[in-house]
Chains A and B, each alone.
Chain A
Amino acid sequence: MIGFGLVVLGLILFVDSLGMQVPPTYARVGPQAFPYFIAAALAAVGAYFVWNAWAPGAKREIVAEGFDTDWRALLIIGAGLLIHLNILKPLGFVISGIFLFLCVAFAFGSRNFLRDGIVAVILVLASYLGFTHGLGLQLPPGILAGVL
């Protein structure tokens, strides 16, 4: 699986390099030399891993077993991150930040919502105020613009 992925990556890189329009003055060592090399190397390690996947058990390099994977926790965090980046601008950093924090805490198995909520509010408000007022960085205020 991983091997195939790497071969594909190598191919993408190769095709991208082929499509480059190189000004003739730089023809000697242009911007495509390095990408070709990296494409070749990626394809090579990819091919190696593909070949290796059929190797006898002891010689096989990539094995992921011996432990359970909590796919649900992964999905929750993944979804949390995606939702966070979509609501960051419209709803503002404070709301999206609190949402992300609670999402991750929930995925890590915390069911102590009151404690998590209090920590989230304090942490997010403190970092918002510290960053915008203390360090002069811009963070989207969102719908709470007038309040803070």
Chain B
Amino acid sequence: MDVLHSLLQGFATAITPMNLMWCLLGTTLGTAIGILPGIGPALTIALLLPITAKLDPTGAFIMFAGLYYGAMYGSSTTSILLNTPGESGSIITAVEGNVMAKKGRGAAALATAAIGSFVAGTLGTIAITFLAPLFVKLALLFGPAEYFALMVLAFTTVSALLGLSLSRGITSLMLGLAIGLVGTDVLTGQPRLTFGILSLLRGIDIVVVAVGLFAVGEALYMASRPDMRAGEVMPIRGSLFMTREEWRRSWKPWLRGTALGFPFGALPAGGTEIPTFLSYFLEKRLSKKPEEFGKGAIEGVAGPEAANNAAVAGVLVPLLTLGLPTSATAAILLAAFEQYNLKPGPLLFSSSSTLVWGLIASLYIGNVMLLILNLPLAGLWVRLLAIPQPLLYGGILLFSTLGVYSLNNSTFDLILLFLVGLLGFLMRRYDFPVAPCVIGLILGRLAEAQFRRALTISQGDASVFFTHPLSLALLVIAALVFFGPLVYRWRAARLQSAKASG
């Protein structure tokens, strides 16, 4: 009953005209950036940070959350009609959805994606409502050693699961950690990696890095690849009302997608891509007509779209209760909390309960808004895809430099932005995932602080990490994630060579 009471109070916060407006703004903006290829929720929230610094935090977070959800709704539209995913969580949707659009069933694909996102988003929000308080109780058991172990686990899963290979993930993570070192050490005041440059003493702002990697790096990459510029937008054909047959084939994948997406988002396993892939293969295996997959099976759109929205809901649980970001967007949201001097974690639920429950309540409202925005208005949104790419990227870079400059009114930040953009270009060109770098940047500082705090409490005895049962368990899981695939591959290789010689 306690939860319901808090939730009702949250609704009272969320339903004020001001907060409803923030929610509408966030969901609308989110849908737009989801549809536009090249801009994602992480970049947009990073750009909005300097602007929102003076806003009331509750309104700002309601907007950010609406934006994150909205991007997932919107990206399915791009996937289906343009065959380029608007966000990485919609890669799979492009496979079946675009084939459906080519066969003249684009409208049905859009409908099952939007309704599936609504179902998953709402169920995911219900799960947040009831799971978050439980997570808070768990989180209260955590000391510095446990937090450090948890972050180590997040580092390993993020670098192991995002991107093509473990070595690339680790490289990206380490680059992020190294960038995070730049500046003054919090505990001792020791400058690190500043090379005597005064402006670097403040450290490198996460906004600069995120915008550099996501916007400048991406723009440079797209400019260097003339072959990726063109794309053909399919017109929406068919009725937006799904037939009875299509409903029958969609509702189970929606539920299964939700069940896969939410836990994957909540675990420190890095965001929305993996559950969408899993959902696709699950639907393919369970389908009575697996031969339809690849030729426009509606299950292949319904399942993954539900999975990515549920994963977004899942991501919010560890972020709010533990302060642990599991995706690039969550890392930026964590930076937003820091901007307001709020510390996500168990204490947030008691110290800022209006904000937290207002945020959760606004997720319910936002989902309804998004369903309305995306289903009947899909035709309007598609016009966004008609923006010529030169103008789109011109605008992206204009707002990137504007946002970064307005952080501190410093041209030095623009130089940094340029350098990070070059780094982002190289990473993109050689297929290094960017998300571990952003997560490493923000989490690295926290991990180091917890590490040193734990050792200070234990008076330098490093065994604390292995004697606390929770901490030990987390570290063991981290080691398994890290070494498991290596051992597996090594054994597979040995088996093969044994077969070859025997």
B169's nearest neighbour on chain A, judged by CB, is A45
Complex interface residues of chain B between 200 and 224 (CB less than 8 A to chain A): 216, 219-220, 222-224
**In the complex, what residues of A have CB within 8 A of residue B402's CB?**
93, 97, 127, 131, 139
**Are A71 and B224 in contact, with the CB atoms below 8 A?**
yes
On whether A97 and B411 interact (CB within 8 A), knowing A13-B193, A81-B421, the answer reads no
Task: Determine the distance from Cα of A75 to Cα of B193 in the docked complex, in whole angstroms.
Answer: 29
One of B81-89, B174-182, B284-292 contacting the partner: B174-182
- Give B387-414 as 1s and 0s: 1 = Cβ < 8 Å from A's Cβ atoms: 0111101110111011001100101001
- Interface size for B (C-beta < 8 A) is 65
Q: Which of A81, A88, A123 contacts B395 (CB 8 A)?
A: A123
Q: Which of A70, A101, A110, A135 contacts B398 (CB 8 A)?
A: A101
Complex interface residues of chain A between 11 and 68 (CB less than 8 A to chain B): 12-13, 16-17, 20-23, 26, 28-31, 33-35, 38, 41-42, 45, 48-49, 61-62, 64, 67-68
**In the complex, what residues of B have CB within 8 A of residue A109's CB?**
226, 229, 390
Q: How far is the CB of B287 from chain A (nearest CB, A)?
A: 33
Task: Determine the distance from Cα of A29 to Cα of B431 in the docked complex, in whole angstroms.
Answer: 36
A85's nearest neighbour on chain B, judged by CB, is B414
How many residue pairs at the A-B interface have CB separations less than 8 Å? 186
**Are A77 and B190 in contact, with the CB atoms below 8 A?**
no
| Main SS at interface, chain B | helix
**Are A139 and B406 in contact, with the CB atoms below 8 A?**
yes
On whether A108 and B411 interact (CB within 8 A), knowing A16-B193, A28-B460, A85-B418, the answer reads no
Task: Determine the distance from Cα of A71 to Cα of B177 in the docked complex, in whole angstroms.
Answer: 30
**Are A23 and B414 in contact, with the CB atoms below 8 A?**
no
Q: Which of B394, B414, B456 contacts A104 (CB 8 A)?
A: B394
Task: Determine the distance from Cα of A47 to Cα of B389 in the docked complex, in whole angstroms.
Answer: 39
Q: How far is the CB of A120 from chain B (nearest CB, A)?
A: 7
**Are A74 and B220 in contact, with the CB atoms below 8 A?**
yes
Task: Determine the distance from Cα of A89 to Cα of B174 in the docked complex, in whole angstroms.
Answer: 35
**Are A137 and B219 in contact, with the CB atoms below 8 A?**
no
On whether A116 and B391 interact (CB within 8 A), knowing A48-B167, A70-B226, the answer reads yes
A139's nearest neighbour on chain B, judged by CB, is B406
Check: A105 CB closer than 8 A to any chain B CB. yes
Task: Determine the distance from Cα of A136 to Cα of B393 in the docked complex, in whole angstroms.
Answer: 26
- Give B366-404 as 1s and 0s: 1 = Cβ < 8 Å from A's Cβ atoms: 000000000000000000000011110111011101100
Most buried by A among B51, B170, B174, B190: B174
Q: Which of B174, B216, B224, B418 contacts A41 (CB 8 A)?
A: B174
**In the complex, what residues of B have CB within 8 A of residue A74's CB?**
220, 223-224, 425
Q: Which of B185, B187, B401, B460 contacts A85 (CB 8 A)?
A: B401
Check: B249 CB closer than 8 A to any chain A CB. no
**Are A100 and B398 in contact, with the CB atoms below 8 A?**
yes
Check: B9 CB closer than 8 A to any chain A CB. no
**Are A104 and B393 in contact, with the CB atoms below 8 A?**
yes
Q: How far is the CB of B352 from chain A (nearest CB, A)?
A: 24
Q: How far is the CB of B51 from chain A (nearest CB, A)?
A: 6
**In the complex, what residues of B have CB within 8 A of residue A82's CB?**
418
Q: How far is the CB of A146 from chain B (nearest CB, A)?
A: 21
| Main SS at interface, chain A | helix
B426's nearest neighbour on chain A, judged by CB, is A2
**In the complex, what residues of B have CB within 8 A of residue A12's CB?**
193
Check: B171 CB closer than 8 A to any chain A CB. yes
Q: How far is the CB of A126 from chain B (nearest CB, A)?
A: 11
B168's nearest neighbour on chain A, judged by CB, is A61
**In the complex, what residues of B have CB within 8 A of residue A61's CB?**
164-165, 167-168
Task: Determine the distance from Cα of A120 to Cα of B50 in the docked complex, in whole angstroms.
Answer: 23
Q: Which of B181, B219, B401, B406 contacts A131 (CB 8 A)?
A: B406
On whether A45 and B171 interact (CB within 8 A), knowing A31-B187, A88-B411, A100-B398, the answer reads yes
**Are B167 and A49 in contact, with the CB atoms below 8 A?**
yes
Check: A143 CB closer than 8 A to any chain B CB. no
Q: How far is the CB of A24 from chain B (nearest CB, A)?
A: 11
Q: How far is the CB of B278 from chain A (nearest CB, A)?
A: 25
**In the complex, what residues of A have CB within 8 A of residue B171's CB?**
6, 42, 45, 49
**In the complex, what residues of B have CB within 8 A of residue A105's CB?**
390-391, 393-394
**Are A137 and B406 in contact, with the CB atoms below 8 A?**
yes
Task: Determine the distance from Cα of A30 to Cα of B455 in the docked complex, in whole angstroms.
Answer: 11
Q: Which of A62, A86, A104 contacts B390 (CB 8 A)?
A: A104
On whether A22 and B188 interact (CB within 8 A), knowing A34-B448, A38-B181, A131-B406, the answer reads yes
Check: A129 CB closer than 8 A to any chain B CB. no
Check: B192 CB closer than 8 A to any chain A CB. yes
Check: B5 CB closer than 8 A to any chain A CB. no
**Are B391 and A110 in contact, with the CB atoms below 8 A?**
yes
Check: A91 CB closer than 8 A to any chain B CB. no
Question: 5 tightest A-B contacts by CB?
Answer: A110-B390, A108-B390, A105-B390, A31-B185, A73-B223
Between A and B, 24 residue pairs with Cβ closer than 8 Å are: A30-B190, A35-B192, A38-B178, A42-B171, A49-B171, A64-B429, A67-B227, A68-B226, A68-B227, A69-B429, A74-B220, A85-B401, A85-B414, A88-B405, A89-B411, A104-B390, A104-B394, A106-B390, A108-B222, A108-B394, A116-B390, A120-B394, A135-B51, A138-B409
A interface vs B, CB < 8 Å? 2, 6, 9, 12-13, 16-17, 20-23, 26, 28-31, 33-35, 38, 41-42, 45, 48-49, 61-62, 64, 67-71, 73-74, 76-78, 81-82, 84-86, 88-89, 93, 97, 100-110, 116, 119-120, 123-124, 127, 131, 135-139
B interface vs A, CB < 8 Å? 50-51, 54, 164-165, 167-168, 170-171, 174-175, 177-178, 181, 185, 187-188, 190, 192-193, 195, 216, 219-220, 222-227, 229, 388-391, 393-395, 397-399, 401-402, 405-406, 409, 411, 414-415, 417-418, 421-422, 425-426, 429-431, 444, 448, 451-452, 455-456, 460
Contacts A101-B395, A131-B406 aside, 11 further interface pairs with beta carbons under 8 A come to: A26-B188, A30-B190, A31-B187, A35-B181, A38-B178, A45-B170, A49-B171, A100-B401, A108-B394, A139-B402, A139-B405
